[in-house]
Structure 1
Amino acid sequence: MSAADQATAAIAAQLAFFGDGAFLGIALAYVAIRSFSKFVASSSALRKIKDAPSVQVSDLRSIINDEAGTGYGEESVSEVLVVVRGMVESRSAFKGGSWKSLWNGVLQSRGSGERGVIVQRFQQCIYNEWRGLFGWYPDLRAVLANIWRDKGSTSIRMVPFVLVDCRQQQPSDYVVVNLEGSKHLLPLTTVYHHIQPIQASPYTFLQALFGYDYPVGVLDEEKILPIGKEVTGVGVCSTKNGVHELKSCDDLPFFLTELTKDQMLIDLSFKTKILLWSGIVVGSVSIGILGYAVARNWVKWKQWWERRREQRQMRARLDADADADANHGSSNPESEDVEEEEMGDIPDGQLCVICLMRRRRCAFIPCGHLVCCQRCVFSVERDLAPKCPVCRQAIRGSVRVYDT
């Protein structure tokens, strides 16, 4: 592991265990909440798809009329959630009145020449992964460069299309597929995949020598929704002016797919189980980590509060002793002798490192450094996060050291 990777891992570990694991517990709790929310959405979608009727295109008219309770000539009827299996066909073939029209209103792939109703083209520039002779920059720069770099350009063209009954050789019924506002993935088929190399130049040699990324090829890819492909549509179907129309539902994970209804139910059932158990496991771990973090921080806060109280009590006693000495004047010769001993002729190696006036008398706990006088020790311990002035280690208290 490189030095950059070690530094990144150390920063990530410190961030994860910040506050005795509180940050990590909060992050895991967020993941658990997201898992439970996705579980609820997947369960709802599973119930809706299970209750939706699985029909062919020719059966839509009877189902919608039965659901709406209206006749064929009504302007609007109620919407029905259905799972319909059909074959992709250009809508222009039905608008002209002849299903055997020769590819009216279809698109053609420039790469393969195949025809479809949706053509998606993707172009991406591929860069080298070698750092070169002087490419000593850290891995983080390469990662950020890959994130910020424009991955490629995508263009999509589509023409209106319908689904027709797969069982009839000359179908007369069809359902129009409305893709407006849909963000679902389409069951596109890759028909063209080509990598074209880029010719090197003298500037490319300099880029490679100093470790900079340079393009080595262009990936050209085309996907289409071909005519005659059998797909399943999951959405809300309605009839207006005698024409069936299928729209997508945002709360369902499928719209057009190659899966059948049984396969979709199996996929959603497995997904809901994974989301449920992952939410339970991650939630339990987050509760344990957060409980540990709360207990540890509560103990630390109590220790800090006890230390502050002891410091205030000690300070109050010192102030009381100082007032008593001031009131009695020279009536306490013992205190005068102690003060004279503390501030007399003291060697440099025994002076307090803070005030440089009195003798070192108190040692810090747990580091054990004997570097401060009694008064300066109290001033250090009054800080919110007291540390030894020599080793900067957190201290829990101090002890007075007497000469024998």
Structure 2
Amino acid sequence: MFDIQEIRSQFSILDREVNGKPLVYLDNAATSQKPNSVLEVCHAYYTELNANVHRGIHTLSQLATEEMELSRRKIQKFINAEHDFEVIFTKGTTEGLNLIAYILTQKLQKDDEIIISYLEHHSNIVPWQMLCERTGAKLRVIPIDENGVLQLDYLDQFLSEKTKVVSVNQVSNALGIVNPIEEIIAKTRKNSDAYIVIDGAQSAPHFNIDVQKMDCDFFVFSGHKMYAPMGTGVLYGKREILEALPPFHGGGEMIATCSFEGTTYAGLPFKYEAGTPNVGGNIALGAAVDFMQKVGHQNIQNHENALLEYAQRQLLELEGIKIYGEKAHRTGVVSFNLEGIGISSDVGMILDKMGIAVRTGHHCTQPIMNFFNIAGTVRASFAVYNTFEEIDALVEGVKKAQRMLS
């Protein structure tokens, strides 16, 4: 049984008020709230286990190590990786993408090509631009149509023996559009030997992820968008690829032997986990996986899709509402503007006065905003604890913003 009130009871922050109004938190694409079970794991680590991992024979160090490695195995199952050592702990999606772009430097040369899409977050644009600057490679961008849908005919045209990397998101953070990842991967495999990188920051909180079935080379996501603490994330990479590529950072933990004459590197996953990790956060990421699996992926998807459908229907009943990507297959996000009101932040501030938290601006996707010739949008994004009553509050808030700003 899916019991929304029981789920909400696990998130203490939802009981608070903002500006004298009950909090309506609709900024989940930026970061989700954390259930008590995750917060309790964080607290327990620092009050009962606090020790560095993999480096001590004393009891606390061994217990902390066991808990963090248990979390790694939970994440392995969560994304269906073949091996637990293919799961690399990171600070989040941005670090994961930068890591991949850096370690692929030696694999690219002048006039090689990297393919991304118009729907990417800046974190899946800038690292590839930097890689192009280092190597002389060229960036090619799959365009979108007026609905925000990728024009995959261009991918067919772009793919060639020069293509070394294809990196796209599974879900757009700005518009919520679900990209046809299976088709993109199939086209890429058929026409090139490129590395395939999938940004799963906005899909891991909503979908059942299977990296083996997907057949991507890399998959990255952030913990803080899926009920885990900030500063946590995962890079998945295929074993044979990670073993063949160089490390990202140098320092403790990632060495096998170190001398002034030279250093040899540790095996996976430690080769890519230099320095002291976010032990408490990594353990809590496993607790977030437990929470999601207890609720059930299908329950999460069904509820969030119903919220999206209801929100879009209710908003479109108002005059002067423009929803971006309205006709595209989407999940978890409704991104809109009020016609004749040019500054989305004005709408956001009025909603905040009513206790409603949304995101406004360009959402770190300025190319998308440029395509639609706008400065930004109002973005409401949903999680498993949101309710239809909260959507009603959002709609009433939008009506108030229309009256005040018209």
**TM-score, normalization by structure 1:** 0.18
**TM-score, normalization by structure 2:** 0.18
Structure number with larger C-alpha Rg: 1
Work out which structure has the larger RCO, using CA pairs closer than 8 Å and 6 or more positions apart in sequence.
Answer: 2
